[in-house]
Amino acid sequence: MSGPKPSVDRLGRLLNLVPYLLARPGILVAEAAADLGVGERQLREDLELLWVCGLPGYGPGDLIDMALDGDRVTISHDAGIDRPLRLTPDEALALVVALRMLAETPGTGNRDVIERALAKIENAAGDLADAPVAVRLPADAEKLDAVRAAVEGGHALRLTYYTAARDETTERVVDPMRMLMVGGKAYLEAWCRRAEGTRMFRIDRIDAFTELDEPAVPPVEAVPHDVSAGVFQPTPDLPLVTVRVGRGGRWITEYYPVEEVRRDGDEWVVTMRVTDLGWAQRLLLGLGPEVTVVGPPELLARIREQATAALDQYSSPGR
């Protein structure tokens, strides 16, 4: 089975699921799944997640409670989530401003989808959509404008760039090709002379850059990436990592592209392609007891070695 939809989609579905079920006590799970446009298996997983959602304190009487009798479900305690999700005026204004900025960003795909969404929200917001509002630009806005100006100037750039996959900072000269937005992140796509290939550089990971006097001249083999399915698109040649995760680590299946997610008792067996085993090592060590690494053997050995070294530090004299 393929990976789940992004967590933002699931959050919206969960917030609307409780009031939907409150209005339809004893509804068939299959009927609810059809109404909500999800598979029955996905809906049952959503219901399992709702069991542990609720108010701070998270004890009896605080969590959402329901009766799941065979193929029928009834909400018995809503924990205050008794109305469908609605935007407040401030939220609507913030969304209008964000969509307007996104629509004006060069390289943004699906502009027609953005404009349709913007029109619907402006119509729902009424006069509020035209009210004055203070916009705080993101911290990287100045850097984004500076890189965009350099790209439009047609010059090569010298970058100091942090590569998260390898946890290293390098310097390289690139020939810019275009600016684009993917998944809410701004990227510079350019021909990297060091790698001799087309690369995507996240703007927020460019520590510094210098505009060179020489013109940007990408070679004929510099082909833009197809980012319609996202920046990272796993290929069969990449390392395949298999892990077992508990409920607390299940979030990785919604945050990262995965090959397969399979339920096994109270855990999930997850397989995913990674560009670098070092990146996978740092990610999985950070999850602690929420994850058990199954393979590949090289990753198991690296994690075991690093974990042993860390434990040895605690047992050293004077510590």
Per the domain annotation, does 310 fall within a domain?
A: yes
Per the domain annotation, does 224 fall within a domain?
A: no
Whether residue 149 is found in the same domain as residue 209: yes
Whether residue 188 is found in the same domain as residue 165: yes
Per the domain annotation, does 264 fall within a domain?
A: yes
Per the domain annotation, does 211 fall within a domain?
A: yes
Per the domain annotation, does 151 fall within a domain?
A: yes
Per the domain annotation, does 235 fall within a domain?
A: no
Whether residue 105 is found in the same domain as residue 154: no
* Burial group, residue 174, by CB count within 10 angstroms (0-12, 13-18, 19+): buried
Closest listed residue to residue 99, CA positions, set 77, 81, 115, 112: 115
The residue type at 122: E
Per-residue pLDDT of the chain (319 residues; tens, 9 = 90+): 444 445 556 777 777 788 888 888 888 989 988 888 888 888 888 888 877 776 665 566 667 778 887 788 888 777 766 666 566 677 777 777 777 776 666 555 566 777 777 777 777 666 655 555 544 445 466 778 788 888 888 899 999 998 876 778 999 999 999 888 777 678 889 999 998 999 989 888 898 899 999 999 999 998 887 777 666 777 788 889 999 988 878 888 877 788 888 888 888 899 988 888 888 888 888 888 888 889 899 988 888 888 888 777 777 665 5
- Looking at residue 2, its pLDDT comes to 46
Closest listed residue to residue 105, CA positions, set 229, 97, 131: 97
Whether residue 255 is found in the same domain as residue 307: yes
What is the count of structural domains for the chain?
4
Whether residue 103 is found in the same domain as residue 60: no
Question: Which residue blocks in 223-316 are alpha helix, DSSP H?
Answer: 252-255, 277-287, 297-315
> Among 97, 130, 163, which residue terminates a domain?
130
- Looking at residue 1, its pLDDT comes to 41
CA-derived radius of gyration, the chain = 24
Task: Please say whether the beta carbons of 118 and 100 come within 8 A.
Answer: yes
For residue 292, the surrounding DSSP H or E stretch is strand 291-295
**Host domain of residue 288:** 240-315
Strand arrangement, sheet containing 260-264: 260-264, 267-273, 240-245, 291-295
Q: pTM score > 0.95 for this model? A: no
Calculate ∠ Cα 209-214-219, nearest 5°.
95
Closest listed residue to residue 29, CA positions, set 53, 46, 16, 13: 46
Per the domain annotation, does 221 fall within a domain?
A: no
Q: Say what angle helices 40-50 and 7-22 make with each other, to 10 degrees.
A: 80
CATH number for the domain spanning 285: value is 3.30.70
Whether residue 163 is found in the same domain as residue 194: yes
Per the domain annotation, does 136 fall within a domain?
A: no
- Looking at residue 137, its pLDDT comes to 45
Q: How far apart are the first and last CA of the chain?
A: 47
Query: 């809503």: which residue's tokens?
Result: 78
Would you call the peptide bond into 296 cis, given omega within 30 degrees of 0 as the criterion? yes
CATH number for the domain spanning 199: value is 2.30.30
Distances (CA, A) of 38 to 11, 96, 257: 14, 28, 19
* Burial group, residue 112, by CB count within 10 angstroms (0-12, 13-18, 19+): exposed
